[in-house]
Structure 1
């Protein structure tokens, strides 16, 4: 026979029992914690009191000078010098700038030693950027060079290989000018330009 205790109704004459709560144990006063805190506070106060006068004693005062004895009947006594306290965080005075290279550069002359190439130059250079069998191709390259701000010429030459149309720039009075124009052509995509001395 099974009994249902969960749904069982209480008896009519029985009193309902109220749940009993356990009483919390009384806590004693924390004497040890209070003692440790008081000891730390007193120790910290003593530490502050002991370092209070240490900053004044760190400045070394100069001893007062002894009065100088003079042979004159009215001797004068010098007063002791005052000790000036220096701020340890103060910055040193700004140094004065004494630069001399500005004046030297204004009057400086630079001498350059050019290496001897061994080539006797008459001072006239030419630059050839292409050589074509057909004159129309040479004229196309001449137009591309004109877009770069340089003036080119198409020259017809006959040799053992037949007729060629050369695209030539110049003459230039020195090689530096020819090199300058060659760099302009290289930036435009014309990489086949050659410089030679025109005889």
Structure 2
């Protein structure tokens, strides 16, 4: 069936209720659902009373007379005083307070010095520009020519540990100078 080219059904004019108006069917109350709801509510109330102890308001009556008798102490068994707190058998608490831990920390091996290269350029002017932006961050760098003065490397260092080199690399990254690499080089 072609739904795109199908004609729309003609619109019906609304009737004002005089002639030709259809009578609205009256809704009937679903009595089964109403009875079921009443039974469920009664069951819920009964269940809650059962849980609460099953006492109704009619069952609980206030006594008319107030009992003023004091219970007499019989000559039954006498109460013994509580025994004293026993002494602790464990001594680990005192041992832990006085314990001294000795840790043997090996000396950190210092490897070869680290250098950080931040760029390699064909033109010395580009290397000088990068060196100037590094100097604005308070760090000192050098330009090393290589391959018979055809390449110019911008290098920072030497650093004793990689941690020192990483700290300065983070300073450069905050200044948006990326691409610095840390190497184990000797110049």
Is TM-score (shorter-chain normalized) higher than 0.5?
no
User: What TM-score, normalized by structure 1, do the two folds share?
Assistant: 0.42
Q: With the length of structure 2 as denominator, give the TM-score of the two structures.
A: 0.44
- Which of 1 and 2 has greater Rg? 1
Higher relative contact order (CA 8 A, sep 6+): 2
